[in-house]
Structure 1
Amino acid sequence: MPSFSRRALLASAIGTAAVGATTASAAANPLPRGAANANPFLELKYRALVPEIYATPPTVASHTPVLVIGSGFGAAVTALRLAQAGQKVSVLERGSRWPRSAWRQIFADDALPDGRAQWYRTSFTGVSGVPVFFDRFGGVLDVTEYRNISVWRGAVVGGGSIVFTGALVQPEQRFFDHVFGGTVDYTEMSRAWYPKALSMLRGSLMPADVYNSSPFGHSRIWDQQARAAGYSPQPINSIFSWDVVRQELSGRVRASAIRGESNYGNSNGAKYDLTQNYLAQAEATGRVTIHPRHVVQSIGREANGRYRVDLQVIRPDGTVVSTRSVTCDRLFLGAGSIGTSELLVRARATGALPDLNEHVGQGWGSNGDAAVTRSFAPSRGIVQAAPSASRILDERGMPVTLENWYAPGVPVNAGIIGSLGMTLDDTRGSFRYDTARDDVVLDFPGQPDTVAAIRAVNDRIVAASGVVAGLPPFVRDVNDSFTAHPLGGAVVGKATDAYGRVVGYPGLYVVDGAAIPGSTGTVNPSLTITALAERNIDAIIRAGR
């Protein structure tokens, strides 16, 4: 067995980084206090590693017909479809624009991260409970701490598609209907919009040769344990490009996906993220311009009916280059559940958009997320590959999904088997503006029912397989201290109409995970956010408003 430190093992055990984050990029919240770091050594270091992110971003015009805030799933769909309808669109993204390379390591390593990993933090305690430390820099993952929950989201051109682990799963109708309550028709979504989204994202099942390769030994063990407990693992669609994964397996490109790199990005394009589909096609129209490192601070409405966006342009180290305001005729909020909700709640509280209704800031949920660990289940392979192969569903109590996940950096025979758990938990939180702090706060009560439901499923698998729940005494069996799937805050049919038009404000739209009512029915939200955005923007374009 290869030698490794206990610290390295614990830091990598299912989550020193975000577990499959699928949220749209939260492009809109202000920088953390003290974000700037004018350290000349770090400047030299990151210029040498990724000089491309230092390119001067294009300047957004003082007035533009259409502004889209964010560049994650919903925002990218919106930008492309508006451009195809003949409109000029400016996309504002707080994060940098990162390149791809077949051999360079563009993004941080999951197990041993540096400043490229996280958005202006110097330390992070993931679900393992063991802190890791790194440079303060404008990395791709934002981790925001609230009472009872830590929220993980993208801060990068491409949003959550860069930092999630690729799962594209359509929910069961009964769960979808439970969540949306009839506001969105599942039959229409299943007939038209889910297939369109899946096709654009090129989702596909993991091929047999990849599944049976050495780096996916943990996936085969996961399925074996699930079957022993009486479950039937269901293969799931993934955004990963299996041809690139095969190139990794044969040594034709640098290993990335097969060595557990995903939560901070895949450098070689193995993950078919939004920069390779929706955003690439949007820019190819000649009508879409993406503006990286544009951090939106607030929004409002001018007396002439135009929308105002106050923003800062920053350098990768967080230094503010300029502060300005721009206007637009139509404003599409795609800054993710947190970013979009923060902008709207702040605008209502400060009087910038005083007529926003009482539903703004309500209906926020964690998608019932929790990290799940089993141990003493050795599998072959030096490390565990990132793409997820399968899921199981249990409906004996609260509906629970477990997805086959991975433990980044764990060596052979370490015996860690990770899962992402998601439940149909109706627990909801809300956002409020704290005047004293001049900040928007998320109040969330926690989700003990989720923990109990997931633990019951994991315990059945543990008992059937003769393994151990968690990694005692270091890693909990079920950890709900985080979510990689923040949803809600501007829920469709409440804060907006049934197609994302914000109530009371013509020309203002919500196009991202903020519109989802706190859950996507025990599955990863990325496919549903994309499909709903396709549905909504189609209706908006057809109606001309």
Structure 2
Amino acid sequence: MSDTTQQNKDFRGVSRRRFIAGTSSILGAMTLAGHAAAAAEQVVTAAGPIASGAHVPVLVIGTGYGGSVAALRLAQAGVDVQMIEMGMAWDTPGSDGKIFANTTSPDYRSYWLRTRTKQPLSNFLGFPIDKDVPLYTGILDAEEMGGIIVYQGRGVGGGSLVNGGMAVTPKRENFGAILPSVDADEMYGTYYPRANAGLGVGTVDPTWFESADCYQYARVGRKQAQRSGFPFVFVPDVYDWDYMEQEAAGTVPKSALAGEILYGNNYGKKSLQKTYLAQAAATGKVTISPLHKVTSVSPAAAGGYTVVIDQLNTTGGTTATKTVTADRVFFAAGSVGTSKLLVKLKATGALPSLNSEIGQGWGDNGNVMCGRANHLWDPTGALQASIPCGGIDNWTAGGAFAEVAPLPTGIETYASFYLSITKNPNRAQFSWNATTNSVDLNWQTAWKQPAIDMAKSIFDKINAKEGTIYRTDLFGTYKIWGDHLTYHPLGGAVLNKATDNYGRLQGYSGLYVIDGSLIPGNTSVNPFVTITALAERNIETIIATDL
């Protein structure tokens, strides 16, 4: 009997009891090393990139939240897993000795295959701030499509590399509108706690917060919100808060207090490289192939699926094309990546039996940004922690939750800055364009107007109370609203529509979706905890019933 045959037999024989026992043990042991975790721990790719002709029990496309959960839980259940990642491993320091570039000094590491930066704030004090950079497979993709720029992380760890780490569990009363086919009792009793434990979620020490210079901007935001009658809430995060306190004391290299956020964080943030992926690597059963891009998945004649993969160089060129066979494939390339790939595979005949829901239900989580100009007696601080720790909740009354965001420029700006998540109902669709051989998204910038109106339910009132005005110099010339982007793409392969209620793709046994494309467009808060918890829920059932 071949090793592969035995692996497949072991895979199919995994019991629910064995899986749950493995899950319990890993969570029990998952106390993250506080200060040691501050170093840039990277996931080793073990045996190197996947070889053409390989036959693997499970292939996971993507190394973000959903894919990392799937890889860890499958590995714990005794399954060998091959992960395919389009971005880099991010395990080699640059000439400055650091893995990641600083937010205020973007360089070749900053953007995915662009020759000019595309920063969320395109202007500052009336001047454009984008600049030319060398073409490189950098960490942040600013993908322009359908009237919106979608920011996505590129590399081992996916979006966890470039987000602010705000780890928010939605309010229980909002959950029914987020995932109506999912049992809320199970999510809040089992899977949200499991996700928060696995991600290493914590909250800033309120006592330290009150005196920390780096959170003066958040305290100003709190004061102004409360004076207008809005509740300010502390928001959990995956940053190592002990490390941040040491940054403030000057005893460790600065990370959040050096403004690191947009292009990666060198020390303090618990990205997936330090949590789920580190645990997965420790099993010895997970191999990651960076700079590899899946271009096709189709049924193999002898069973399983034929997967075609391009190996990339650091300027985006293809250096090799590989064909491998996988018994099962998990799509975890993120909302945009998974949706675009599935739409292409359906339209071009590789997976023609995918249903008509593929590509539907895509949303931007209602993202909209704005800044406010404060009075001189309300400075927000030259030193600002790049990790947000609080927000303004007006979801019930006005359909908006606004994180009080940093503006870490290194100078006093007297500005308050916000990223709002709103109850924007508009949804877009991905479709195949046969003329260009590419996938289009039909989002229209005008569809952001409901999000703007909902954000205004907070900030018009604060401006009226404080006698302040909106900043008009951050997103262009005399432009108030950052309505051109999203950090939180969701949907495109919606749960219980494009898939069954656990992410199994309709029409194909052994194909699964396990990322943010399952969530129909909105989570009411920052989405990655919900993506992680849903993946925990789904993979537990898939292992127990399918394998």
Shared topology, TM-score over 0.5?
A: yes
Q: Per the alignment, do residues 100 and 384 of structure 1 end up closer, same or farther by CA in structure 2, a change over 3 Å counting?
A: farther
The reply on whether 1:524 has 2:526 as its aligned counterpart is yes
> Per-residue CA shift, 1:177-209, capped at 9, x if unaligned?
12322x111121011101111111111111131
AA matched with 1:298: S
> Per-residue CA shift, 1:357-380, capped at 9, x if unaligned?
000000000000011211235535
> Per-residue CA shift, 1:50-72, capped at 9, x if unaligned?
9x999998121421110001000
The answer to whether the 8 A contact 1:169-1:527 is kept is yes
Task: Structure 2: state its 5+ residue gaps.
Answer: 1-39, 123-127
The reply on whether 1:394 has 2:394 as its aligned counterpart is yes
Instruction: Report what 2:509 is aligned to.
Output: 506
Superposition pairs for residues 257-406 of structure 1, below 5 Å? 257-268=256-267, 270-377=268-375, 378-379=378-379, 381-395=381-395, 398-406=398-406
Instruction: Report what 1:206 is aligned to.
Output: 204
The answer to whether the 8 A contact 2:203-2:241 is kept is no
- In the TM superposition, what is the alpha-carbon distance from 1:211 to its structure 2 partner? 5.1
In structure 2, what is the Cα distance between the partners aligned to 1:244 and 1:189? Answer: 31
Instruction: Report what 1:105 is aligned to.
Output: 98
In structure 2, what is the Cα distance between the partners aligned to 1:527 and 1:196? Answer: 10
In structure 1, what is the Cα distance between the partners aligned to 2:323 and 2:368? Answer: 40
The reply on whether 1:90 has 2:82 as its aligned counterpart is yes
Moved segments of 4+, more than 6 Å: 52-57, 100-103
- In the TM superposition, what is the alpha-carbon distance from 1:411 to its structure 2 partner? 0.6
Q: Which is worse superposed, 363-372 or 470-479?
A: 470-479
Instruction: Report what 2:57 is aligned to.
Output: 65
Superposition pairs for residues 425-444 of structure 1, below 5 Å? 425-444=424-443
The answer to whether the 8 A contact 1:101-1:267 is kept is no
AA matched with 1:76: S
The residue matched to 1:160 in structure 2 has which SS?
helix
In structure 1, what is the Cα distance between the partners aligned to 2:120 and 2:419? Answer: 11
AA matched with 1:427: N
> Per-residue CA shift, 1:311-345, capped at 9, x if unaligned?
11122233432111111000001100011011110
The residue matched to 1:450 in structure 2 has which SS?
helix
Instruction: Report what 1:538 is aligned to.
Output: 540
The residue matched to 1:145 in structure 2 has which SS?
strand
Q: Which is worse superposed, 251-260 or 218-227?
A: 251-260
AA matched with 2:48: P
Q: Per the alignment, do residues 366 and 145 of structure 1 end up closer, same or farther by CA in structure 2, a change over 3 Å counting?
A: same
In structure 2, what is the Cα distance between the partners aligned to 1:54 and 1:120? Answer: 24
Q: Per the alignment, do residues 256 and 58 of structure 1 end up closer, same or farther by CA in structure 2, a change over 3 Å counting?
A: same
Superposition pairs for residues 216-231 of structure 1, below 5 Å? 216-231=215-230
In structure 1, what is the Cα distance between the partners aligned to 2:231 and 2:173? Answer: 19
The residue matched to 2:131 in structure 1 has which SS?
strand
In structure 1, what is the Cα distance between the partners aligned to 2:197 and 2:324? Answer: 35
- In the TM superposition, what is the alpha-carbon distance from 1:245 to its structure 2 partner? 1.1
In structure 2, what is the Cα distance between the partners aligned to 1:211 and 1:78? Answer: 39
Instruction: Report what 1:407 is aligned to.
Output: 407
In structure 2, what is the Cα distance between the partners aligned to 1:450 and 1:516? Answer: 18
The answer to whether the 8 A contact 1:87-1:287 is kept is yes
The residue matched to 2:251 in structure 1 has which SS?
coil
The residue matched to 2:155 in structure 1 has which SS?
coil
> Per-residue CA shift, 1:68-119, capped at 9, x if unaligned?
0100000000000000011000011111111388994321111221111110
The residue matched to 1:124 in structure 2 has which SS?
coil
AA matched with 2:233: Q
Q: Per the alignment, do residues 427 and 67 of structure 1 end up closer, same or farther by CA in structure 2, a change over 3 Å counting?
A: same
The reply on whether 1:117 has 2:117 as its aligned counterpart is no
In structure 2, what is the Cα distance between the partners aligned to 1:161 and 1:194? Answer: 17
Instruction: Report what 2:178 is aligned to.
Output: 179
Q: Per the alignment, do residues 410 and 466 of structure 1 end up closer, same or farther by CA in structure 2, a change over 3 Å counting?
A: farther
> Per-residue CA shift, 1:444-488, capped at 9, x if unaligned?
132211111112311111122232212358463322210000000
AA matched with 2:399: P
> Per-residue CA shift, 1:277-324, capped at 9, x if unaligned?
100000100111111111222222222232122111122233432111
Q: Per the alignment, do residues 459 and 374 of structure 1 end up closer, same or farther by CA in structure 2, a change over 3 Å counting?
A: same
The answer to whether the 8 A contact 1:128-1:474 is kept is no
Give TM-score, length-normalised by structure 2: 0.86
> Per-residue CA shift, 1:264-287, capped at 9, x if unaligned?
11112x101101110000010011
Query: C-alpha root-mean-square deviation of aligned residues, in Å?
Result: 2.2
In structure 1, what is the Cα distance between the partners aligned to 2:99 and 2:287? Answer: 23
In structure 1, what is the Cα distance between the partners aligned to 2:120 and 2:477? Answer: 10
The reply on whether 1:449 has 2:450 as its aligned counterpart is yes
Identity %: 38
The residue matched to 1:312 in structure 2 has which SS?
strand
- In the TM superposition, what is the alpha-carbon distance from 1:212 to its structure 2 partner? 2.5
The answer to whether the 8 A contact 2:400-2:455 is kept is yes
Superposition pairs for residues 472-483 of structure 1, below 5 Å? 472=473, 474=477, 476-483=479-486
The residue matched to 1:298 in structure 2 has which SS?
strand
In structure 2, what is the Cα distance between the partners aligned to 1:368 and 1:134? Answer: 30
The reply on whether 1:132 has 2:131 as its aligned counterpart is yes
1:491 to 491, 494, 513: 494
In structure 2, what is the Cα distance between the partners aligned to 1:145 and 1:487? Answer: 16
AA matched with 1:94: M
Instruction: Report what 1:416 is aligned to.
Output: 415
The residue matched to 2:149 in structure 1 has which SS?
strand
AA matched with 1:392: I
- In the TM superposition, what is the alpha-carbon distance from 1:123 to its structure 2 partner? 1.6
Q: Which is worse superposed, 296-305 or 416-425?
A: 296-305
The answer to whether the 8 A contact 2:228-2:462 is kept is yes
In structure 2, what is the Cα distance between the partners aligned to 1:135 and 1:146? Answer: 22
Q: Which is worse superposed, 443-452 or 425-434?
A: 443-452
- In the TM superposition, what is the alpha-carbon distance from 1:169 to its structure 2 partner? 0.8
Q: Per the alignment, do residues 101 and 462 of structure 1 end up closer, same or farther by CA in structure 2, a change over 3 Å counting?
A: farther
Task: Structure 1: state its 5+ residue gaps.
Answer: 1-49
Instruction: Report what 2:467 is aligned to.
Output: 466
Q: Per the alignment, do residues 385 and 243 of structure 1 end up closer, same or farther by CA in structure 2, a change over 3 Å counting?
A: same
> Per-residue CA shift, 1:113-135, capped at 9, x if unaligned?
11111101112343433333322
Give TM-score, length-normalised by structure 1: 0.86
